[in-house]
Chain A
Amino acid sequence: AQKVTQAQTEISVVEKEDVTLDCVYETRDTTYYLFWYKQPPSGELVFLIRRNSFDEQNEISGRYSWNFQKSTSSFNFTITASQVVDSAVYFCALSASTTSGTYKYIFGTGTRLKVLA
């Protein structure tokens, strides 16, 4: 099976707290990519990061960091010192091969993050 699980439906934190959004995936592919997207209240989908299956280095971009662990099939996203503007729905996604020889993207159900002032 190829799937992405985001078990946290909704998380509420107070501003300046750190928060981690979990993403667990299943794939039969040996080469694959994982992605995070942000959907703010305005509704558009914004790409945040990609990670390939051969690169397990953590990535940091400002207050955002990502931890990819192949051993646990997880690609977690941490926001440090959260801000109200971080309030959004966050989606984790996986590029997956298809039986017809092409590929598709599989999304998790999303985690709604509410950052309270």
Chain B
Amino acid sequence: NAGVTQTPKFQVLKTGQSMTLQCAQDMNHEYMSWYRQDPGMGLRLIHYSVGAGITDQGEVPNGYNVSRSTTEDFPLRLLSAAPSQTSVYFCASSYGFPEAVYNEQFFGPGTRLTVL
């Protein structure tokens, strides 16, 4: 199993550009989520999905869109990049409800995004 994969590993954008961060998992996990990690802020939840076709907002959803058309993929779209979106982005997955309440999340390696 590849686990949770994220592409790209690094990305530099100019303000106003859009892009999609890719996330895929091969563990048949129903629950997937996106976090951003900033110094001193820990991991903050952007969006999450409890299954294909179902997404919900997390703590910091503004400026980001998600969709979940398949169980395996959960892309994160930046609509119009801003310097405040410079961060490290982690995708994670876990088993679906109710098991996910007590199962740990598996994290991808992260994408380091810089917005100039």
A interface list, Cβ under 8 A from B: 6, 9, 31-33, 35, 37, 43-45, 47, 50, 52, 91, 93, 95, 98, 100, 102-110
Contacts and interface: CB of A to CB of B under 8 A. Distances in A.
A37 B33 CA distance: 16
Contacts of A107: 35, 42-45
A10 to B, nearest CB: 10
Given A44-B107, A44-B110, A102-B56, A33 B101 contact: yes
A105 B56 CA distance: 13
A52 B50 CA distance: 21
Given A35-B104, A95-B102, A102 B40 contact: no
Contacts of A102: 48, 50, 56, 97
Nearest to B94: A105
Interface residues of B, number: 26
A111 to B, nearest CB: 10
Contacts of A106: 45
B13 to A, nearest CB: 20
Contacts of A33: 101-102
Interface of B: 33, 35, 40-45, 48, 50, 56, 58, 88, 90, 92, 97, 100-107, 109-110
Given A44-B110, A45-B90, A102-B97, A52 B102 contact: yes
A16 to B, nearest CB: 29
Residue from B90, B102, B104 with most neighbouring chain A CB atoms (10 Å):
B104
B101 A91 contact: no
17 contacts: A6-B42, A33-B102, A37-B104, A44-B107, A44-B110, A47-B104, A91-B42, A93-B43, A95-B100, A95-B101, A95-B102, A98-B56, A100-B56, A103-B100, A104-B33, A105-B45, A110-B43
